[in-house]
Structure formats: structure tokens, C-alpha cells
Amino acid sequence: MNKGQNVTTETPHSTSDRARAEVWELIQALVLGRTSPERILELFYWSDDPCALELARASFSMSSEARATLRAFLAAARPQTISVKIEPAGQLVLSSSDITDHTAITPDIDEKYKVSHR
């Protein structure tokens, strides 16, 4: 190690302390009314479901057009009517009995759906 080089070691205890501090901050925000209870529960749900986070990350990585088209499809169909299959050529196919005419789905591709990648 070079002289003057800083070394930071993190123990499981310090990670646990940081997690407790974050939970405490969330509780304070809820109690003080800075964040709605619904928002806290929604954040907890998302953080507790790794699949949901993977889907969100994948969505953010899509082009604006692809994301808008997917959003339009999901908005037009009730979740229980959506089926998914993968074709032999590798295409992912989403379908819904709620959507009988694909021209009824009009993706709204504008600034509000664009994600900036930093």
C-alpha cells in the first residue's frame, strides 16, 4: 500500500447500521407527513420484488418509441387479459383479448416519456 493512501473497510455491522438509518428516515418522513403512506408502501413493494426492478431497468434502457408502444399496449389492455409467448424466431409476442385492432393503440411519443440516460 502506498503511503498516504486511504483505505475504507466496510463491515457487515456498518452496512446494517446504514440500513437501519435509512429505515428510520423513511419512518420519520411518514410520521412527519413529508411522504404519503401510499408512496412508502409502493417503494417498499418495488424494492422487495427483484423482478419488478429488472423490468423497470429494462424499460429505461429501451428506445423512447419501444417504451411508448409498450406503455400504450399495457394501458389498452387489462392485465388479466395479457398473454405472452416467444416465437421460434425469437420474437416476444404480447396479445390481449381487449385489443382487437392494433391501430387502436397509438403510442404517445413525446417528451414526457423520454428518459435521460446519465
pLDDT, tens digit only, all 118 positions of the chain = 555 554 444 455 566 777 778 878 877 777 787 777 788 778 777 777 778 878 888 888 999 888 988 988 998 899 999 999 999 999 999 999 998 887 767 776 554 444 443 3
Provide CB contacts within 8 A for 7, sequence distance 6+: 1
Q: Kindly list the distances between the CA atom of residue 4 and the CA atoms of 1, 7, 22, in Å, as whole numbers in the listed order.
A: 9, 9, 32
Helix (H, G, I), strand (E, B) or coil at 41: helix
Query: What DSSP state is assigned to residue 34?
Result: S
**What are the grid coordinates assigned to 69, written together?**
408502444
- The C-alpha atoms of residue 64 and residue 52 are separated, in whole angstroms, by 20
